[in-house]
Amino acid sequence: MAEIVSLLYQFGTNAAFLLLAALGLIVILGMMNIINLAHGEFMMLGAYAASAAVHRGLPFPLAVLLSAVAVGVFGIVLERLVVRHFYGRELGALVVTWGISLILSQGTLIAFGPFMAPIAIPGGALTVGVYSFSTYWLFLMAICVVLLAGLGWLYKATEFGLQARATMQNAAMARALGIRVERVYMITFGLGSALAGLSGALLAPTTSIAPFMGQQFVAPAFITVVVGGGASVIGGAIGSSSLLSLVETPVSFLMGSFWGSIALLVTALVLIRILPNGVSSLRLRRRTRGARG
C-alpha cells in the first residue's frame, strides 16, 4: 500500500517537474514556434527574483507572483527589442535566444556571484508507512493542474485566445481580418516568459539558486513540448509528461535514476518515432496546420 502511494507521489513529482519546466515553453515554442534556448534562463531569473524578494521579507506566494510579473515584463521588453525581428526565421531565433541565454547566465554570475542564498521549502512532510513526502511537491502538482487549466481556458474560451490561435496559424490572414498581430505576438511572448518566471520561482525552494541553474530545465522542457506535439500544445504537454513519467518512475524506483533517465529518453525517442506529430496528434484534429507550422 505504502509502495503504491510512494509510486504515485513519485509519478506526480516527475510529471509536475516536466510540466513546470515546460510551462513557459509550451507557449513560446508550442504556440509561437520560437525555439527559445533562453527558456532556462527565464526560469533562472524567476528563481532569482523570488529568492531576492523572500530575502527582503516578502511572503513566498507574493514573491512568486511578483517574479512572474517581473519576468513577463522582461520578456515583453526582449520581444520588442530583439526577438520580434526573428519571427518566421526559426534558426535565427534559435541563435539569438541562445545568445540571450549566455548573456543572462554569465551576466548573473558577474552581478550576483556563483550562487544566491536559498529559500526554505515551504510546508512539511507527510508519512505513509516507511515513506515520507514533501507537502510542497503535492502543492506543486495541484498548481500544475490549475495553471494548465487556466492556460487552456485562455486559449480556447476567450477572445484573445481565438485571435492568438488565428495569428499562430496564419499571421497574414489574421492581419487581413483586423487582428493586431504584433500585439498578439508581444502578449504571447510576455505570457510565456511570465510562466517561465513563475515556474522558476515555484521550483526555487527545491533547487540551488545559481546562474546556470536554468540548464537543468532546458532538456526536460524541450522533450516535454516536442513529444507533446503541436496539434494541441497544452493537451500534448499533459499527455507527454504523463507518458514519460509513467515509464520513468517505475524504472527509477526499481533500477535507479540512471536507468530512469535512460528510460525517459528512450520513451521520448520511441514516441517521436511512432507519433512524429506528438502525443497530441492521437486525439485527432480537424485543425489544419498553419503556414508556419
Per CB under 8 A, residues contacting other proteins are 3, 6-7, 9-10, 13-14, 17, 37, 98, 101-102, 105-106, 109, 113-115, 117-121, 123-127, 130-134, 136-137, 205-208, 210-213, 215-216, 218-219, 248-249, 252-253, 256-258, 260-261
Q: Give whichever of 215 and 281 is closer to other proteins, judged by the CB atom.
A: 215
Instruction: Report the chain's C-alpha Rg in angstroms.
Output: 19
- Look up cell 492521437; give the residue: 282
Nearer to other proteins, 76 or 223 (CB): 223
Give the C-alpha separation, 47 to 63, whole Å: 10
Specify the residue, 12 or 190, whose C-beta has the smaller distance to other proteins: 12
| CB 252 to other proteins: min, Å | 4
**Rounded least distance, CB 1 to other proteins, Å:** 13
Least separation in angstroms between CB 187 and other proteins: 29
For the chain, the straight-line distance linking the first and the last C-alpha, in angstroms and rounded, comes to 46
Give phi and psi for 125, each to the nearest 5: -130, 150
Distance, CA of 220 to CA of 227 (rounded, Å):
10
Residues 263 and 248 sit within 8 Å (Cβ to Cβ) = yes
Residue 133 phi, psi (nearest 5): -130, 150
Cβ proximity to other proteins: between 191 and 247 the closer is: 247
DSSP secondary structure letter of residue 282: G
Q: Residue 69 Cβ, how far from other proteins at the closest point, in Å?
A: 25
**Where are the alpha helices (H) located in 213-277, listed in sequence order?**
215-228, 233-255, 257-274
Query: How far apart are CB 123 and other proteins at their closest, in Å?
Result: 7
In the bound state with other proteins, the residue whose beta carbon lies nearer, of 135 and 158, is 135
| Longest Cα separation, the chain | 63
Q: What is the dihedral of CA 94, 95, 98, 99, to 10 degrees?
A: -150
Min dist. Cβ of residue 202 to other proteins (A): 13
Between 7 and 69, whose beta carbon lies closer to other proteins?
Answer: 7
Choice between 58 and 173, CB closer to other proteins: 58
How many other C-beta atoms can be found within 10 angstroms of the C-beta atom of residue 260? 21
Q: Which of 5, 7, 43, 11 is nearest to 25 (CA)?
A: 43
Taking the complex as a whole, the smallest distance from the CB of residue 59 to other proteins amounts, in Å, to 16
